[in-house]
A and B are shown apart, each in its own frame.
Chain A
Amino acid sequence: MQRSVPRPAVSSIDRQEQLAYLSGLLPAVLLLMVLTLAPAIYLFVVSLTPGTPTIPGSLTDFSDPTQNYVGALQDQQFLDSVWVQIKLSVSTVIAQVLLGLGVALLLHRRSRFLQALRTVFLIPMVLPPIVAALIWKILYTPDISPLHRLLAALGAPVSSLITNADTALWAIAFADTWEWFPFTMLIILAALQVVPDEPIEAAKVDGAGPLQLFWYVILPFIRPAIVVAALFRLIDSIKAFPLIYVLTSGGPGTATQVTNYYAFTQAFNYAYWGYASAIAVMLTAGVFVLSWVIGRRQGASAYGR
């Protein structure tokens, strides 16, 4: 709904105030430009070249600026990596939101024990990602894994999950969910705690069952928080790296090679800086578009429009 209140005339005092704010902001804006925008612009500029440090002059060769982008669209490995990325992102975001929601609902009681339990659940999230990856590397390596040994001792040996193309990606998704569901849990728990008591009590008086109560009263309140948590996890999942690097290096074959990892190998194993930059630019653009679309939908649903 548009407001139709006429804008008051801007007085000179207001203008001076605005100027003061602006001059206060200017250093921060400049710093942001230098630290964030300049490298991003450089990335884009490099993506227009066939740049590789082993060929002198290639980083300033703009004779065919679209070659990397055209090349990427014809590069089956790149296209496959996008598909792997979609599978990983969708599965981990859904799993983390559902698990985070479930655990948050269970923990949302006033009890000291549950409060202590909350802290325990946060452990995976606060571990350095490389440590989390190492934990799973050990668990997934049959030679040394207590899990594999236990299963073998119970007479149900399991073959290595990370070297099987059918299970490798899901093994990573599982580890990623273990590591990051506490994040969604935390956000949803915070949202649950500010749900007012009145509508809940009113619904109970009207005879609503627990499911109805959740669906019609609690969920609408916490939906914005769920969307924000999902958005954060989605953006983060596109940046997935330590688990893949440590557990599978993108393999077996290219079964777990996500776009981010593919760009990494192009840049740091082969030194195709131009090509890797082009992939990075496309990835960044993808993340921006996704955030924008979800942000808009979220904004719309939050204000009931």
Chain B
Amino acid sequence: MPSFRNVSRRHVLKGTAALGALALTGKAPARAGSKPFQGVELNVSCWSAPFPKLLQTYLPEFEELTGMKVNYDTPGFLIYNQRVDLELSTKGSSFDVLNITFIYVDRWLRAGWFAPLDSFIKDENATPKDWDTDDFLPAARKIMSGKDGSLYGIPWTCDCYMAAAGRYDLVEKAGLKMPETFDDIEKVAAATNKDGVAGFLGDNRHGWNFPPYLQGFGGNVFRNPPDDLMPALDTQEAIAAADFYSHLLRDYGPNGVLSYSYDQVTAALKQGRANYATEGHIFLMPAADPDSKSAKTVRYSMFPKGPAGQFPGFATHAWGIPVGAKNKAASWEFIKWAMSKSMMMRAVTEKGYSSPSRRSVIESPEFKKRLMLNGNDVAEIYLKTIELVGKSNYMDYRIVSVFPQVDTLIGQAMERIVSKQMSAAESMKQAQSSAIANLKRAGIRL
């Protein structure tokens, strides 16, 4: 237990240091009124993605600026969603700012678990005009808007499904190029799967990784989302896609590929233990970091075309304010600070952040320069992918309220095939019947 003497000494030291710092910078000591949030404690949580993690290093600035104390938590993706789903459903007040997870958008917004942000955005006292809400990519804003037209979340990432070959040297050695089609993936994976290098790699979120292949083969998760939610997991196209994708994982994946988390995928690419991966680009970009063994050999490309076309996945996540939050003005203060143009720009220039959601940042020369990697214009791949997503509604399957259930079922179906418990056809048929039962349980009329 800290003694009273220790605490008071620390306070005195802190106070002296702060006074000293103010004297050095020439700033006048803050008046009581200039920090309206002095003493407020803010509980913020998001899953452990690059942006929230890098934001954490800037938190002392925010605390200094506002006088707030931020309790910041970044658990893993699955744990975050479980925890928050439960917390939101009770309309609790434990959190002041939360991430609105892409696949839970419909469910969390429709149930009225987040507060609309328009009142803060439109209030010039709360938000200066040059903060510029319209700067956030329209595709991402559209997803984070409710049926009432209000904006509920400020997107901090646009995650695009891309491809990377960590060991492009091996690809060239085999006389091949970056895959442009699914057939090319097969060739590259087969040719580079030797000498301790896995030819292909994907993480265990099959509900995220599989649909781009499924749609590339001409299938879809539901018959016609969001209007017709009849699952379509046992179609010929779905079975062919499942067969192809599971074959890549099973025959060219590393030992224990089924338990690979996205962090492990990044680590394996950086260590040069695996070559070709299709993944959300935020987990592929670190392969070009200075501490990566593949920094000199990595190449990037758009997600390849399947027989039916090119359907790279897309996800966005956003900061929102749960309805139960007690001090929403303080919550907004945090979001406004975290998502300002200057903060996002600093995330790019100082921390190498690779998936900004503001157009002004994406189009900035600094971002373009940073994403010019081994002769690859990754910024262009990024923008092209987002444009492709904006042209049609193929990502609609992902934001229907019952997708989380189907997401898990796709994961189980893939695992059954890769671990040879079932054939692709059997496994996808089982996933289909489970999906139908699940949707009925959720009150969906099929």
CB-based contact B413/A52 at 8 Å: no
Residue in chain A with minimal CB distance to B434 = A77
11 further A-B pairs in the complex, CB-CB below 8 A; given A143-B264, A250-B412: A76-B430, A76-B434, A77-B434, A160-B255, A160-B258, A163-B258, A163-B415, A249-B78, A255-B419, A270-B404, A271-B89
Q: How far is the CB of B434 from chain A (nearest CB, A)?
A: 6
Pair A159/B256 contact, Cβ less than 8 Å: yes
Quick check: B438 and A163 within 8 Å, CB to CB?
no
Q: Judge if B232 is at the interface, Cβ distance under 8 Å.
A: no
- With CB as the reference atom, state the residue of chain B lying closest to A167: B419
Interface residue B401 (Cβ < 8 Å from any Cβ of A):
yes
Do A71 and B441 have beta carbons less than 8 Å apart?
yes
A77 to B416, CA, bound (A): 13
B442 at the interface (CB under 8 A from A): yes
| A143: nearest chain-B partner, CB-CB | B264
Check A142/B443 contact, CB under 8 A, given A54-B401, A251-B415, A269-B408: no
A208 to B258, CA, bound (A): 55
Q: Which chain B residues lie closer than 8 Å to A255 at the CB level?
A: 415, 419, 421
Interface residue? A265 (CB, 8 A): yes
B419–A141 CB distance below 8 A: no
Q: Chain B residues with Cβ under 8 A from A254's Cβ?
A: 412, 416
> Could you say which of B256, B264, B412 has the most chain A C-beta atoms within 10 Å of its C-beta?
B256
Contact with A along B408-446 (1 / 0, CB 8 A): 100111011011111000010010011001100111000
B370 at the interface (CB under 8 A from A): no
Q: Is the CB of B405 within 8 A of A270?
A: yes
| Cβ contact within 8 Å between A163 and B259 | yes
B268 / chain A contacts, CB cutoff of 8 Å:
143
B223 — which chain A residues lie within 8 A by C-beta?
none
Q: Which residue of the partner chain, among B256, B412, B422, contacts A142 with CB atoms under 8 Å? A: B256
Which among A163, A268, A269 has the greatest number of chain B C-beta atoms within 10 A? Answer: A163
B110 is contacted by which of A54, A142, A163, A272 (Cβ under 8 Å)? A54
B280 to chain A, nearest CB (A): 20
Interface size on B, residues (CB 8 A): 43
* A160 close to B259 (CB less than 8 A): yes
A54 touches B107 (CB 8 A): yes
Query: Which of A162, A268, A270 is B438 in contact with, Cβ under 8 Å?
Result: A270
Q: Does the CB pair A141–B259 fall under 8 Å?
A: yes
Residues of B within 8 A of A265 (CB): 408
Separation of A249 and B76 alpha carbons in the complex (Å): 14
Are the CB atoms of A252 and B256 closer together than 8 Å? no
Q: Can you list 8 A-B contacts with CB-CB less than 8 angstroms, sorted by A residue number?
A: A50-B443, A53-B111, A159-B256, A251-B258, A253-B415, A269-B85, A269-B405, A270-B405
What residues of chain A lie closer than 8 Å to B416, measured between beta carbons? 165, 252-254
Residue contact A268 to B256, C-beta cutoff 8 Å: no
- The yes or no answer to B82 lying at the interface (CB within 8 A) is yes
Could you tell me if A58 and B258 are in contact, using CB atoms closer than 8 angstroms? no
Q: Does B257 reach chain A (CB closer than 8 Å)?
A: yes
- Give the residue name and chain of the A residue nearest to B258 (CB): A163
Q: What's the minimum C-beta distance from A222 to chain B, rounded to whole angstroms?
A: 41
User: Bound state CA distance, A1 and B334, in angstroms?
Assistant: 76
Report the bound CA distance from A162 to B255 in whole Å.
11
Fill in one digit per residue for B240-255: 1 if any A CB lies within 8 Å of its CB, else 0.
0000000000000011
**B30 interfacial contact with A, CB 8 Å:** no
A162 to B259, Cβ gap below 8 A?
yes
Q: Is the interface of A mostly helix, strand, loop or mixed?
A: loop
- Asked whether B86 is an interface residue with its Cβ less than 8 Å from the other chain, the reply is yes
Give the nearest-CB partner of A67 in chain B: B441
Cβ of A25 < 8 Å from any Cβ of B?
A: no
* Residues 252-276 of chain B, each 1 if its beta carbon lies under 8 Å from chain A, else 0: 0011111100001001100001000
Residue in A closest to B110 when the chains form the complex, CB atoms: A54
Beyond A53-B111, A164-B419, A269-B82, whether A141 also contacts B434 by CB under 8 A is no
Residue of B257, B411, B415, B442 near A272 (CB, 8 A) is B442
Q: Measured between alpha carbons, how far is A252 from B260 in the docked complex, in Å?
A: 12
1/0 per residue, CB under 8 A from B, across A27-64: the answer is 00000000000000000000000101111101000000
A160-B256, A162-B256 given as contacts; is B442 within 8 A of A252 (CB)? Answer: no
Q: Are B111 and A253 neighbours in the complex by a CB distance under 8 Å?
A: no
Chain A residues within 8 Å of B437, by CB: 71, 74-75
B contact residues around A268 at 8 Å (CB)? 82, 85-86
B284 to chain A, nearest CB (A): 18
Question: Please, how many angstroms separate the alpha-carbon atoms of A119 and B314 in the complex?
Answer: 54
Does the CB pair B82–A252 fall under 8 Å?
Answer: no
> Cβ of A165 and Cβ of B420 under 8 Å apart?
yes
Q: Which residues of B contact A148 (CB under 8 A)?
A: 255
Interface residues of A in 88-129 (CB under 8 A from B): none
A71 contact set on B, CB distance < 8 A: 437, 441
Bound form: Cα–Cα A231–B264 in Å:
40
The answer to whether A163 and B256 have CB atoms under 8 Å apart is yes
A183 lies within 8 A of chain B by Cβ: no
A267 CB → nearest B CB, Å: 9
Chain B residues with CB under 8 A of A77:
434
Known: A52-B443, A268-B85. A142 touches B419 (CB 8 A): no
Kindly list chain A residues whose C-beta atoms are within 8 Å of the C-beta of B405.
269-270
Tell me the minimal C-beta distance from B92 to chain A in angstroms: 12
Whether the pair A54, B412 counts as a contact (CB closer than 8 A) is no
Contact B421–A55 (Cβ < 8 Å): no
A181 contacts the other chain (Cβ, under 8 Å)?
no
Tell me the bound Cα distance from A148 to B254 in angstroms: 13
